[in-house]
Each structure stands twice: as C-alpha cells, then as structure tokens.
Amino acid sequence: MHAYPMLLVDSRFSNSEYQARHRQTIALAKEHDCSAVLTFGENKSGVVSTWLTGWGTTRLALNLLTEKESLLWILFQNHTPAAKRTAQETQVFVYDIDAVEKALTSFKGKSLATIGTATGDVRKIASKLDITLITLDKAHAKMRAIKSVEEVEILRAGAKVTDLGAQELIESCKIGASDWQIFANARSGYTVAGGRDHICYICVADMNAPDRDVPSQFPEGRIVRENSAITFEISASASAEYPGQVLRTVTIGEPTAQYKELHAVADETLARMRKILKPGISALDLIAASSIIEEAGFTTTDDLFHGLGAGYLEPIGTSRSRIPMHAPDLTIEAGMAIVLQPNVTTIDHSAGVQTGEMVIVTSDGFEDIHHITSGLLQR
C-alpha cells in the first residue's frame, strides 16, 4: 500500500451554499403552491437531506424546511452528536414523532412539498391534519443536475480520491488475489486519504470461458488467475453524495481476441461521445454516437451515460439495443456532471468490458476531472 497525504481540499460546503440551496428549494415549492418542504432519507439513502444539510444520512432523517428555518430529525440518539457537528444551516434533533407532529400543526389544511418517500408516521399526521403532500422529486432532481462552483470543486476532490482507489485496485489485480482482497485494497486506497465509500463493483472472469458481463455489487470470492479479465466501477467522495467515478478493464496477460474487440468498440464509442459532448447537444446525440456497438454485433447491460453528484441524475441514456432502453430528449447544459461509460457486452451477456469516467460539462465543452490511465490495461 502507498502512503497518501490527507486531502488538501475542504470537503465542507460554505454556509452561503446551503442558504442558496434552501432558497432554491423553497422557491420550487412555491411554484407548486407549497410554503414548506419535507425531505426523507433512511439507511444511507436520501440524497436531498444531505444536499440541504450536509448530513450524510445514516438511519432515518427527516428535514422540515421553511423560509425561516431548517429542522432535521434523525434516528438514533448516538447519531446526533456527529450530525450536530456536520449539519449546516439547520437545527438537529433526535427523531420524535410527537415533535414532528407539533411542528406540522401550523400547516393544517395546507399543502406541503415532499422529496423522498414519506414515512408512514408522517402520512398519518398529514391525514390527521388534512395536509396535502405534493412530491417534488423529479423537479428537484432536475435542479440538482446543474452544479454550482462549490459543487464542481467538491466533485474534483471526489475524482482525486476515486483515482487513488482505482489505482490501488488496478495494482491489486494479481494472480491469486480474490475479489475481496482487491475490494479491500481499493477502499483503503482512498480511505487513508480522507475519501468516503460510495460504490466499488468488481467482476473477475476467465477470458477463455467468460460467464459474466458487468461488475458485481458485492465480492463473490472469485480468484484472479491466468487469463482473467477484471472489470470494475469505483466511486469515492470527499463529501457525502459527491463522488467521482472511474470504470476500467484489466487483463492478466494478453487479452483474448474477443476482449480486444469488445474494448476496441468501447474505446471508439467513448471517443465519439467525447468528440461531441458540449452544451446545446441533445442526450439523443450521445446515444446516436454509440451506434457502433450494435453495428459490431454487441450490446450493453448498464447505462451508456448518466448524471451524478447529489443523486443519480438525468441525463440517463442507454444504447439502442439495451432493454429497457432509456432515451431522454433533453439538452446537455453547462454545469452537468456526466459519467460516460460504454460498457460493451456480448449479445448473450457472457462477456463484457468497462471503460469511462466522470466529466464536467463546461461552457464550451467538458473538463476531465480524472487523471488515471485509460484504455485496456494489462498486468
């Protein structure tokens, strides 16, 4: 393992950043005739609670946001000390349904905007108080797709720690290593530098008799051997919900003809998407750029590209042969963080490759925020 210094980038957003987010969210709520917003998160899911407060959701997190204040209730008692240190521009309380009901009483007979899945307790209170709950999930996700200056800086820091993890993962691809060992080394690579977990998916397959096309969400005890192909997708962050993302393919020894062809098509697809990516193009243009995949007799399993940072966001597009296909007819805008990831696979999904990474769309093109070796890697 290498020794890495702690990150030099401050992983906390400024108070003014959170104030701006509060104003944007309340303005969106008012467009739907709501004067306040309730957000919900639970078990590390609930990005909007994090976006509004800075608290990386652990257990239940419920945030009530009004023009005057932000109240955050979380489960459990022992989570509140860290939450109080972490959350910004909000008051933190231990979750208490009676306190929540008291706070919601002033909205009796009115409409409240919600983001995230409302809990059963809150739905009961809303019914009791004749409160109408109006979801803002899609509208708010669209707003979060365009990153602020501070968000872009934090994503650059996420890319930095992701690169550290990816490099450790690549160097761990040795004969005899298990996917568990590779996983552990990758996580250590960014953790010692102050990085946070987001995802680390790994696939180990025999290139002579492949039996899987995309990385697994969990290690399965697969062992790297001669002629193995290791594909991976890794994301780490410096601040919760703001990860980088890198996808690569590593072979042990010379890649087989099949893997060479798969990766050559993936490389060409990535090059075509990169060539046209800029503000003003349609997400459909990026899909059209991937037509070489089907022309070569291949397909995909995962998305071709997607937005990331404060959620898994549009634009989300797939190659035209992916089932189900997703083809958003929307315009690419400056400030979007997009992962370009042509994961080319065989039609029977027995073999596949991974390549790509996150970029930031700028006023005249895009910025590469990752700095790790690209292409098909050989060990």
Angle between helices 149-171 and 179-191 (to 10 degrees): 140
Res. 219: pLDDT tops 70: yes
Task: Return the C-alpha torsion angle 187, 188, 190, 192, nearest 10.
Answer: 150
Q: How far apart are CA 337 and CA 377, in angstroms?
A: 25
Domains of the chain in start order, with CATH, are 15-144 (3.40.350.10), 149-378 (3.90.230.10)
Q: Tell me: the pLDDT tens digits for 220-266?
A: 999 999 999 999 999 999 999 999 999 999 999 999 999 999 999 99
Q: What is the pTM of this model?
A: 0.95
Mean pLDDT calculated for residue range 10-35: 94
What three-state secondary structure class fits 300?
Answer: strand
Cβ atoms of 114 and 37 within 8 Å: the answer is yes
Q: How far apart are CA 39 and CA 46, in angstroms?
A: 8
pLDDT band at 3; cut points 50, 70, 90: low
Kindly state the tokens that stand for 36: 């306040």
How many other CB atoms sit within 10 Å of the CB of residue 208?
Answer: 11
What pLDDT is attached to residue 2? 55
Cβ atoms of 276 and 359 within 8 Å: the answer is no
Instruction: Give the amino acid at 289.
Output: A
Q: How far apart are CA 85 and CA 94, in angstroms?
A: 14
Enumerate the β-bridge partners of residue 112: 133
Res. 33: pLDDT tops 90: yes
**What are φ and ψ of residue 176, in 5° steps?**
100, -15
Mean pLDDT calculated for residue range 285-311: 98
Q: How far apart are CA 43 and CA 93, in angstroms?
A: 17
Residue 49 is classified by DSSP as H
Q: How far apart are CA 22 and CA 240, in angstroms?
A: 18
What pLDDT is attached to residue 148? 98
In the block, which residue shows the tokens 């009676």? 98
Residues 6 or more apart in contact with residue 351 via CB below 8 angstroms: 205, 207, 210, 212, 213, 229, 258, 259, 262, 345
Q: How far apart are CA 289 and CA 160, in angstroms?
A: 28
Q: Tell me: the pLDDT tens digits for 324-377?
A: 999 999 999 999 999 999 999 999 999 999 999 999 999 999 999 999 999 999
What three-state secondary structure class fits 265?
Answer: helix
Res. 214: pLDDT tops 80: yes
Q: How far apart are CA 338 and CA 113, in angstroms?
A: 28
Count the alpha carbons within 13 Å of 366 in the hemisphere toward its beta carbon: 24
| Phi and psi based region of residue 194 (left: phi greater than 0; alpha: psi -120 to 50; beta: remaining) | left
Q: Tell me: the pLDDT tens digits for 140-196?
A: 999 999 999 999 999 999 999 999 999 999 999 999 999 999 999 999 999 999 999
Q: Tell me: the pLDDT tens digits for 40-64?
A: 999 878 899 999 999 999 999 999 9
What pLDDT is attached to residue 6? 55
